[in-house]
Amino acid sequence: MRLFIAVNFNEQVKRDIKNIVERVKRYAKQGRFVNEEHMHLTLEFLGEITEERVKDILSAMKLVNAAPFTLALSDLGYFKRREGNIYWFGITENKDLMVMQREVHKLLKERGFNLEEREYRPHITIGRKVKLTNTFNSDELKESIGKIQIRVNSIDLVKSERINGKLIYTTIFSKAL
């Protein structure tokens, strides 16, 4: 099963993000934008994991020692790709988030998981293979993006699967902070 550990958002945050995504979409010549039910902040992507290894993930998550905190969105950015860019919202620098993510990473590595070693760059993906018109101006969105606050009270183990061609995310464990 395909798994990742994430911060999921409440319905209000998802609506607020969706409202800004709709404004970006108006300028899209192409691209696939993320649906509300798929909006999250990935802490650690695990990939294909056997059923037997899930208990190791749960044991790591249960040891995460973090208090609830609040995140703020910072800006709209993208990873450049030839077929169209990956657009995302950045997260304002947050020590609590970075410490928690490093702890999750360390606990999983101690249990033998093969994880990406590049520096963690927190972002919320909003669109893939996106090409925007030349008239798009991200500065018009800065104020709206900056108002979004995300209260982090838990981290979730999420299963990603395709069912009848539809991408479904299912939270299979939640660790309260």
* Residues tagged active-site: 40, 123
Short-list 42, 136, 28, 135, CA closest to 89: 42
Here the tokens at position 63 are 């040891």
Asked if 6 and 37 touch (Cβ cutoff 8 Å), the reply is no
Here the tokens at position 127 are 């669109």
Phi-psi region of 31 (alpha: psi -120 to 50; beta: other; left: phi over 0): left
